[in-house]
Amino acid sequence: DAGVIQSPRHEVTEMGQEVTLRCKPISGHDYLFWYRQTMMRGLELLIYFNNNVPIDDSGMPEDRFSAKMPNASFSTLKIQPSEPRDSAVYFCASSSHSGSSFSEQYFGPGTRLTVT
* Contact positions vs other proteins (CB under 8 A): 31, 33, 42-45, 48, 50, 55-56, 89, 91, 93, 95, 97, 101-105, 107, 109-110, 112
State which residue, 81 or 107, has the beta carbon closest to other proteins.
Answer: 107
User: Of 25 and 110, which CB lies nearer to other proteins in the complex structure?
Assistant: 110
Residue type present at position 70: P
Nearer to other proteins, 15 or 43 (CB): 43
26's CB contacts (< 8 A; 6+ apart) are 1, 3, 4, 94, 96, 106
Per the DSSP assignment, residues forming a β-bridge with 107 are: 93
Phi-psi sector, 63: left (phi>0), alpha (psi -120 to 50), beta: alpha
User: What's the closest the beta carbon of residue 41 comes to other proteins, in angstroms?
Assistant: 9
Sort 64 into a burial class: Cβ within 10 Å, 0-12 / 13-18 / 19+. Answer: middle
Min CB(82)–other proteins separation in Å? 20
* Residue 55 C-beta: closest distance to other proteins, Å: 6
Torsion angle defined by CA atoms of residues 43, 23, 75 and 65, in that order, rounded to the nearest 10 degrees: 40
Smallest distance, other proteins to C-beta of residue 31, A: 6
| Cβ-based nearer residue to other proteins, 54 or 81 | 54
